[in-house]
Amino acid sequence: GLTKPFGGRIARKTMRYLDGHYVNARLTQLASQENMSVCALSRLIKQQTGATFKELVQIKRFSVALRLLRTTSLPVSDVISSVGYDNTSYFHRQFKAKYGMSPAEYRRAYNA
């Protein structure tokens, strides 16, 4: 998770960017928007958030997936693709490691 207190302009910019682009977020795209090198931006993101860009993307995607699992009846495979994963088995492995249950089990537990 996020280890540092959240602060800094780049942290806020990154979170705003991820709100709109989590499905196809690219560090290169954010770097060019900010007129920075990928390396410099990457370092600042890690300093200001305690997480890498890739980790932040995953956190955002998972938070949206959890909401969709709780509030919609979309098939799990549709939830997975709608948050930007094309590899469903990878998503399932990550989800189970993070939450100790499959997406379907999470939905059942939440809606029980």
pLDDT in tens, 43-101: 999 999 999 999 999 999 999 999 999 999 999 999 999 999 999 999 999 999 999 99
Would you place residue 6 in the very low, low, confident or very high pLDDT band (cuts 50, 70, 90)? low
Q: Which of 70, 55, 81 is nearest to 103 (CA)?
A: 70
Report whether 66 contacts 106 (CB < 8 A): yes
Under DSSP, the state recorded for 35 is T
- Whether 5 shows a pLDDT value over 80: the answer reads no
What pLDDT digit, counting tens, does each position of 20-52 carry? 999 999 999 999 999 999 999 999 999 999 999
The reported pLDDT for the residue numbered 112 is 76
In the chain, alpha helices (H): 9-21, 27-34, 38-49, 53-71, 76-82, 88-99, 103-111
The reported pLDDT for the residue numbered 69 is 97
